Each structure stands twice: as structure tokens, then as C-alpha cells.
A and B are shown apart, each in its own frame.
Chain A
Amino acid sequence: METDLVVRARSGDHDAFAQIVTSVARRFHGLAYAVLRDRTLAEDAAQAALVCVWRDLPSLRDARRFEAWSYRILLNACFSEGRRARWRGVELTRDAPVATSAPDELHGVLDRDQLERGFRQLTVQHRAVLAMHYFLDLPSDEAADALEIPVGTYKSRLHRATEAMRAALAADARTTGATASLEVAR
């Protein structure tokens, strides 16, 4: 992200903000979906986050930190959407897995279903940590910055989330009787 654009948007230049939106919207939507696993909730979260970014830009002192700062806003929007879903009694499980694999790849599809079910068992907090690591590929210090936690806390949270994911996959394999074909590297 060009710092100049951020500075201009911060001072109220809406055209500059429109360029920022163009460059970050897809990533925002993808990250929101990676966390929430629900298209409608992901759209709501991404849109709410973009509005909040515009509204709160004047409070961003260092324009170079825009990326981590905006991820923080997006994750808060995801937590908020997840919370609203919990209030409504909606499980964050409405969408079928996105099937981009070839239909004859039964082995892969089975794995994807297991991953989907396992991931849905995790708390939104754990999902967020895994998404920072696996979806955005952020280094630990940047991910910790976005989550507003120390790097050590981020690492331990990532470890716990990974363990929770493994436990969820194991529980799913026991429940469904399916062969857990995913080889989870330790």
C-alpha cells in the first residue's frame, strides 16, 4: 500500500480512499471468509471494516502501519459478525465447502470436508490466528501487531489453535468413522 494514498485518505481525500478500497477489498473479503466460513457474514464483515477504516483513518498516526492496522479493524469486524451470529443462534456453518477441485478427486474432497468441519469447531479467535498464518502468510511480528498482542502470545495462540484444529479433526474422524486421510505434519 502506497503511504501517499493513505496520507491523502487520512486527510479526507475520498478518491484516494477509493483506490485503497480497490486494492484491499479482495484481500479483506478473502480473509473475512477464511475466518468466518460464511459468504454473507464475510461480505458484511468486509464492508463494515472498509467503512470503519475510512471513519477511523484520522486516528492512524503512522501511515506505514496501515496494513496491520486495517487487518486489526477487519478482524474486529469478523469477531463482531461472529458474535452477532452467535446471538442469533446461527452456526457459522451454512456454506458448503468451496469446491474447486476436480470432481473425481474424491480423496481431496473428503479432506476438504473434514477440514471444513474441523475448522468450524474452532473459536473465531483461533480461526483468526490460523488465517493470519495460513491465509495471509504474515510473519509472526506483523500478525502479532495486527492482533495487538505480543509476539510470544501470538505464537502460543497459534500453537493452541493448531492443537485445537488437530483435536477437532481427530474428533471428526472418530464421529464420522471416516478414515482421516489428511496427514497432519507435526
Chain B
Amino acid sequence: MNAPHDLGPDFRNWMRDVPAMPDDLPERALRTTRRTRQGRRWPWSLLRRTPTAGASGEQDEGQPPAPIPTTGGLSLAPIGGMTTMLSGTKILGLAAVAALAGALFVAIPWSPQTDVSAPRAMVGEPVEITPVTGSMQVLAQKAAGPCEEGGIEEMYACAGDVWMVRFDFDDDRLNGLQLSRHNRYSMGAMGYAVQSLTTYAENDGGSWVGTGYAYQDPETTGLHYRTVLQGHGGYEGLTAIINLDEPTFGALFEGTGVIVGPGLPDLPEPAPTTFE
């Protein structure tokens, strides 16, 4: 008798039926390790470049040696030798991101908005705000087709990916399956990715339609998923603002949000452009 969580002997047999390993795989790995210096314990692990090795062994020639440990826990990182993780592409990318963030920071107007009328919702009926906590499980992902390659190493522009996800929140109004369509830019070499998405969900109480964004954390490899959903049918007038984070690639998204009703404040006029 199978355990309650058992998928049965057919599944076990199927999973164990794997193709034969290529005979030269061990030798390819050993060829690479002969040229790879073993690491040592040190606190500056970020300075170690992760070795990569293609199945064909073509990348072996470009495999740099591991950094050379020196006394005091420091390592040599000769410019041009690229023994660090900070390649030129990454440095340029990080600099561009930092410059953009700095420009946005400077551009933020700090003066109070004196000429903006009070949002309608504040003088209308009371707004109910319900905090929610839950998770999102990605059940299926379908790529629409081959992605276009960009100008940067391992940059891809992909349109039309479809995700099927399941929301599992402590508020039933959000629970159920969602289908979303994603357009994305992925910068594999740098670990960044950003996506725009539209999403649709339906359950017994009504439906939700929304848009959102997701961006990938290059350190954890997980996505940060931000959506705003507008209620329809039984949820007419409600807005759900959801923030979910994927701790690592492929893990369950977890997070919080709010359901706001009967509506959000109207958007104010565009922000002032001068500091007066």
C-alpha cells in the first residue's frame, strides 16, 4: 500500500528511466578541474568567480583560475585577468542602474502639493482596507516562442509568456487560479530581469483583472512580483494591491497585500516639476 503522498510505482519507474550518461562527461569535468584551483575558506567569497563548463567543453578554454589566496584573507584581482565576479559588463550595468536611480532620486520634488484637491474617496463613503497574507504557486509556464537576442551578452526580449498560477491567501476573495501574460527583458549574464504582465482571475465570488510588474533579484535569483487587481462582478469596486516575493528561483512566492474598497483615491495632477 502506498503512502498518502505516493505517486505510485509507475511514476517511480518513469523517473528512474533516464538516458545513458555520455561516456566522456567525467573526463570533460576532470579536464576542467585539472585547471581549476581549489578554493579556500575566506570571507571574501564574492570575489570568487563561479566556474562554468558547457556540456561540449567549449567553455573550458575561457575558464579562469580561481583567485589566489593571500595572507590576510585578501585575494588578487588583477584588472583584465577577470578573477572577480565583477566583469566589465556587470560594472557598466551596475553603473547604469546606479545613475538612473540617482537621477530619479534627485528629480523627486520635495515641496508639499498645495494645489491638489482632496481625493474623492476621502470625502465619500468610508474605505475598508483588508490586509491579506498568502502565497502564489506557479503551476505552469508556457513560452510564446523564441526570444529575440539583445545587444548585451545573454540579453533576451520575450513576449507573450503565459503563466498559470494559484493564489492561496487568507482572504477567499483572492483565492483560485490566475492566468497571466508576461513580456520580459532578461539579462542573463547580469542576473537582471524585468517583466510587465496582465492577469486575470476568477472564482465563485467574482473576477479580478490587473496589471503588474516583476523583477528578478540577481542575488537570490527569485522574482519580486507586484500587481494591482481591479475587481469585477461580485468584487466590483474593490482593488487588490499584492506584493509577492520568490525567495529563490522556483520557490513558492510569498507575501502580503491589501484589498481596498470601494475604491482608491483619484490620481492627483502630475507632480510639480519645480521646487517651490
Which residues from 80 to 103 on chain A have a C-beta closer than 8 Å to any C-beta of chain B?
80, 82-84, 86-91, 98, 100
Does B22 reach chain A (CB closer than 8 Å)? yes
Cα distance A12–B66 in the bound complex, in angstroms? 14
Q: Which residues of A contact B37 (CB under 8 A)?
A: 55
Q: Which residues of A contact B52 (CB under 8 A)?
A: 48
| Total chain B interface residues with beta-carbon distance under 8 A | 62
Given A14-B33, A47-B32, A87-B154, A55:B39 Cβ within 8 A: yes
Q: Mark B1-13, 1 if CB is under 8 A from A, else 0.
A: 0101111101110
Does B186 reach chain A (CB closer than 8 Å)? yes
Q: Which residues of A contact B32 (CB under 8 A)?
A: 47, 51
Give the bracket for the number of chain A residues in contact with chain B.
Answer: 35 or more
Which residues from 23 to 81 on chain A have a C-beta closer than 8 Å to any C-beta of chain B?
25-26, 29-30, 33-34, 39-40, 43-44, 46-48, 50-52, 54-59, 79-80
* A17–B4 CB distance below 8 A: no
Of A40, A83, A162, which one neighbours B55 at CB under 8 angstroms? A40
Chain B contact surface mostly: loop
A24 (CB) vs chain B CBs: closest residue: B26
* B22–A43 CB distance below 8 A: yes
Count of A-B contacts with CB under 8 A?
184
Chain A contact surface mostly: helix
Smallest beta-carbon distance A15→chain B, Å: 10
* A52–B28 CB distance below 8 A: no
Of B16, B25, B138, which one neighbours A135 at CB under 8 angstroms? B16
Q: Which residues of B contact A34 (CB under 8 A)?
A: 15-16, 18
Given A98-B19, A184-B8, A52:B50 Cβ within 8 A: yes
Q: Which residues of A contact B139 (CB under 8 A)?
A: 121, 164, 167-168, 171
Q: Which residues of A contact B29 (CB under 8 A)?
A: 21, 25, 46-47, 50-51
Cα distance A51–B35 in the bound complex, in angstroms? 10
Given A43-B22, A57-B38, A125:B251 Cβ within 8 A: yes
Q: Which residues of B contact A91 (CB under 8 A)?
A: 141-143
A128 (CB) vs chain B CBs: closest residue: B250
Which of A51, A79, A134, A183 has the largest number of chain B CB atoms within 10 A? Answer: A51
Q: Which residues of B contact A14 (CB under 8 A)?
A: 30, 33-34
Cα distance A57–B39 in the bound complex, in angstroms? 8
* B188–A84 CB distance below 8 A: yes
Q: Which residues of A contact B18 (CB under 8 A)?
A: 29-30, 33-34, 98
Cα distance A88–B242 in the bound complex, in angstroms? 27
Does B126 reach chain A (CB closer than 8 Å)? no
B37 (CB) vs chain A CBs: closest residue: A55
Q: Which residues of B contact A185 (CB under 8 A)?
A: 2, 6-8
Does A159 reach chain B (CB closer than 8 Å)? yes
B3 (CB) vs chain A CBs: closest residue: A185
Does A7 reach chain B (CB closer than 8 Å)? no
* A89–B158 CB distance below 8 A: yes
Smallest beta-carbon distance A116→chain B, Å: 8
Smallest beta-carbon distance A134→chain B, Å: 5
* A87–B156 CB distance below 8 A: yes
Given A22-B26, A44-B54, A51:B33 Cβ within 8 A: yes
Given A47-B55, A55-B51, A164-B139, A25:B15 Cβ within 8 A: no
* A88–B15 CB distance below 8 A: no
Does A165 reach chain B (CB closer than 8 Å)? yes
Which residues from 100 to 140 on chain A have a C-beta closer than 8 Å to any C-beta of chain B?
100, 111-112, 115-116, 121, 123-126, 128, 130-131, 134-135
Known contacts A46-B29, A87-B156, A125-B251; 16 further A-B pairs (Cβ under 8 A) = A12-B38, A34-B15, A47-B29, A55-B39, A55-B51, A84-B154, A86-B186, A89-B147, A89-B161, A111-B14, A123-B138, A125-B249, A162-B5, A171-B139, A182-B11, A186-B4
A residues adjacent to B (C-beta < 8 A)? 12, 14, 17-18, 21-22, 25-26, 29-30, 33-34, 39-40, 43-44, 46-48, 50-52, 54-59, 79-80, 82-84, 86-91, 98, 100, 111-112, 115-116, 121, 123-126, 128, 130-131, 134-135, 158-160, 162, 164-168, 171, 182-186
B residues adjacent to A (C-beta < 8 A)? 2, 4-8, 10-12, 14-19, 21-22, 25-26, 28-30, 32-34, 36-41, 50-55, 66, 137-143, 145-147, 154, 156, 158, 161, 186-188, 193, 221, 248-252
